[in-house]
Amino acid sequence: MEKEIKNSKTKTVEKTEKLKASNTKIEKRILFVASEAQPFCATGGLADVCGSLPKEIVNENPGVEIRTIIPLYSNIPDYFRKDFKYLGHIYVTLSWRKEYCGVFEYNYQGIKYYFIDNEKYFKRDGGEYGYMDDGERFAFFSRSVLEILPTIDYFPDIIHVNDWQSALIPTYLKTSEWDERYKNIKTVLTIHNIIYQGRYGAHILTDVLGVDQKYAGILIYDNDVNILKGAIVTADKITTVSESYAEEIKTPEHGAGLHQIVKQNEYKLKGILNGLDYDFYNPKTDKVIYTNYDANSLEVKAKNKEFLQKEFGLDVNPDKPILAFCSRMNVHKGFDLIKCCIEKLINELDIQFVGVGSGERVYEDFFRYLNSKYPSKVHVSLGYSLEIGKKIYSGSDIYLMPSLTEPCGLSQIVASRYGVISIVRETGGLKDTIKDFGCPGGGNGYTFRNANVGDLEYSIRRAVQDYKDKSGWAEKVKKVMSVDFSWKNTAKQYIDIYKEL
């Protein structure tokens, strides 16, 4: 898998190479900033988007140059790291601190990546986030991005930041002194999930973030420092990852306390649906799954199911529908709804249930219990694993995603690409990507509106009933696989935004 990832040469690389050869004039320079990006480090969909959107944009737009910058976490694999090129280091000012900041460079799939090195902040065992000093760590990261521009010799027209971890950048640009070269830099903020805001006690404003008290009005909200709120106010444009979610975050139900701020800034907000990396997620070429297939060789998908059942110790039987999830297990993803009905359904219907992910204790414990009570029917693998996830997509039939709130959601899109039919709640990006089979013109999944167990249960029963009609189900799978969720349709909307700036 390592070799496979590292050496994958996509159409982007080829295009970029051709482009260089043809000396196309660069009209816009973008610096794309993120706290995670595939294939270097990932905790969720953010990494998928940050690893694929830049190359898709460049692919379609020869006049745009994008470089990406992320922290150098210790879990970035050595097979990449050993080829990183050290560019230099500076000392970054964070209030009264002067922190070491090294910069490494690496070219991957036609995109130049920079990695910010500081072992105090990023050499940790527990993964990317969840430390008590996350506010300071990502303030350092954001400040470093601005201060190393002379070192990397790249002054972009636009800095495109993602989620709260890089959201101090637009605020720093407006609240610190910068020389002439920074004067015309514009900013775009993409909100991948408004629940995560980077909210800390007000005392960190000057002492940790190094923002002058006179700018408190930008960052302080509800008596706290709120980093995402600061960027909603200071960024030149805001995007979020689906059209429905762009509407939803203006409401108290989905705005996570920031709906009024979003509303005040709606003139610069646009919803753009995420696309999927069609090279990385392709059942026809995927080296991780048991055997490759496409919509015209569904009998091969059946082989994947058999392998999956064997590997997970389930009854090997092609007629039992496998229900699946690959997800962080938390309340927002609708795990309470699953928890309330799945055991009953496992007992009443002839189904199997599989999943992979990590999350809140209450759900992990519940799945441990199911695993031990129903070993031939249930196998939930605890801990994030892309490899197991892909095997699950390749071998299962019905995908469960009853999220309470979902900015875009990528799993339902990956599931569709691998021929797994989704059951989703009608919210955010789930609503924009999955339409019910019963809707006029036919749909590509099963949907329900209200976040209640009865509605999820009813949808599962509908899907399991439909599954019994083998040829009808195969038609549905083909239809689901034929919907195009690649970046082709949406990446150009980012270009429009860049051009407007």
The distance of closest approach from Cβ of residue 200 to ligand GLC in the complex, given in angstroms and rounded to an integer, is 21
**CA separation for the pair 426, 445 (Å, rounded):** 11
DSSP state string for 248-267: HTTSTTTSTT-HHHHHHTGG
Chain-centroid distance of CA 418 in Å reads 18
Q: Interface with ligand GLC by CB under 6 A: which range of 55-63, 73-81, 401-409, 455-463?
A: 401-409
Residue in 33, 42, 49, 423 binding ligand GLC, rule: CB under 6 A: 49
Residue 372 in tokens:
């031990």
**CA separation for the pair 351, 342 (Å, rounded):** 10
Number of other CB atoms surrounding residue 190 within 10 Å: 27
The distance of closest approach from Cβ of residue 136 to ligand GLC in the complex, given in angstroms and rounded to an integer, is 23
Tell me whether residue 40 or residue 172 sits nearer to ligand GLC (CB atom): 40
Task: Rule CB under 6 A: say whether 408 interacts with ligand GLC.
Answer: yes
Task: Rule CB under 6 A: say whether 198 interacts with ligand GLC.
Answer: no
357: three-class secondary structure by DSSP: strand
The distance of closest approach from Cβ of residue 493 to ligand GLC in the complex, given in angstroms and rounded to an integer, is 14
Q: Which residue lies nearest ligand GLC, judged by its C-beta? A: 45
**Residue 361 CB-half CA count within 13 A:** 0
**CA separation for the pair 52, 11 (Å, rounded):** 12
Tell me whether residue 44 or residue 443 sits nearer to ligand GLC (CB atom): 44
Tell me whether residue 289 or residue 414 sits nearer to ligand GLC (CB atom): 414
Show the site string, 235-264: x = touches ligand GLC by CB under 6 A, - = not.
------x-----------------------
The residue with tokens 């019905």 is 398
Task: Rule CB under 6 A: say whether 45 interacts with ligand GLC.
Answer: yes
User: Residue 220 burial (CB < 10 Å; 0-12/13-18/19+)?
Assistant: middle
Q: Is the dihedral of CA 408, 393, 110, 23 positive or negative?
A: negative
Q: How far is CA 193 from CA 136, 163, 255, 337, in A?
A: 20, 7, 10, 21
User: Residue 223 burial (CB < 10 Å; 0-12/13-18/19+)?
Assistant: exposed
Q: How far is CA 415 from CA 282, 423, 485, 496, in A?
A: 11, 11, 11, 29
Task: Rule CB under 6 A: say whether 409 interacts with ligand GLC.
Answer: yes
Q: Interface with ligand GLC by CB under 6 A: which range of 9-17, 39-47, 180-188, 375-383?
A: 39-47
Task: Rule CB under 6 A: say whether 406 interacts with ligand GLC.
Answer: yes
Task: Rule CB under 6 A: say whether 194 interacts with ligand GLC.
Answer: no
The residue with tokens 């694929």 is 52
Tell me whether residue 322 or residue 413 sits nearer to ligand GLC (CB atom): 413
Residue 45 in tokens:
């969909």
The distance of closest approach from Cβ of residue 410 to ligand GLC in the complex, given in angstroms and rounded to an integer, is 5
Residue 377 in tokens:
């029917």
Residue in 109, 118, 175, 193 binding ligand GLC, rule: CB under 6 A: 193
Tell me whether residue 314 or residue 408 sits nearer to ligand GLC (CB atom): 408
Residue in 143, 192, 303, 417 binding ligand GLC, rule: CB under 6 A: 192
DSSP-derived pairing of the beta strands 158-162 and 28-33: parallel
Tell me whether residue 161 or residue 173 sits nearer to ligand GLC (CB atom): 161
DSSP-derived pairing of the beta strands 199-201 and 224-226: antiparallel
The distance of closest approach from Cβ of residue 241 to ligand GLC in the complex, given in angstroms and rounded to an integer, is 4
**CA separation for the pair 173, 157 (Å, rounded):** 13
The distance of closest approach from Cβ of residue 129 to ligand GLC in the complex, given in angstroms and rounded to an integer, is 12
Task: Rule CB under 6 A: say whether 274 interacts with ligand GLC.
Answer: yes
Residue 23 in tokens:
């000396």
**CA separation for the pair 350, 417 (Å, rounded):** 25
Show the site string, 422-461: x = touches ligand GLC by CB under 6 A, - = not.
-------x--------------------------------
The distance of closest approach from Cβ of residue 433 to ligand GLC in the complex, given in angstroms and rounded to an integer, is 10
Q: Radius of gyration (Cα) for the chain, nearest Å?
A: 23
The distance of closest approach from Cβ of residue 181 to ligand GLC in the complex, given in angstroms and rounded to an integer, is 31
Task: Rule CB under 6 A: say whether 56 interacts with ligand GLC.
Answer: no
The distance of closest approach from Cβ of residue 98 to ligand GLC in the complex, given in angstroms and rounded to an integer, is 34
Q: Interface with ligand GLC by CB under 6 A: which range of 42-50, 65-73, 126-134, 275-283?
A: 42-50
Task: Rule CB under 6 A: say whether 44 interacts with ligand GLC.
Answer: yes
Q: What does the binding site for ligand GLC look like in residue numbers (CB under 6 A)?
A: 44-46, 49, 192-193, 241, 274, 406-410, 429
